[in-house]
Amino acid sequence: MPRVAIDVLLKRELLDPQGRATERALPDLGFDGVRDVRIGKHLELEVDAEGEDLAARVEAMCAGFLTNPVVEAYRWRVIAEDERADAAA
């Protein structure tokens, strides 16, 4: 079954307070030169579908349940096992 990664952020025209707070804290921690920090959700899941059926189901889940399309934007992709964010290092 293909594994899908979904990234969700607040729409770009909206203030992201968590990102802004992180951006302001970084210089005090010794990390300069970091800009435009946005923080949202990352989801990974396996879906029992392929091709256009997979795309239709992922889009329906994202639009109907996993994200709030009024204020959030998302992007998804199929990932390989070694591209999991929790793949063993």
Residue type, 13: E
Gap between the Cα atoms of 15 and 18, Å rounded:
9
Asked whether the beta carbons of 76 and 62 are under 8 A apart, the reply is: yes
- Assess 88 for contact with a copy of itself (CB under 8 A): yes
- Assess 12 for contact with a copy of itself (CB under 8 A): yes
Residue 23 CB, nearest distance to a copy of itself (Å)?
Answer: 7
- Assess 65 for contact with a copy of itself (CB under 8 A): yes
- Comparing C-alpha atoms, which of 11, 39, 14, 12 is closest to residue 24? 39
- Assess 55 for contact with a copy of itself (CB under 8 A): no
Residues that bind a copy of itself (CB under 8 A): 1, 3, 5, 7-12, 19, 22-23, 25-26, 29, 31-49, 57, 60-61, 64-66, 73-75, 83-89
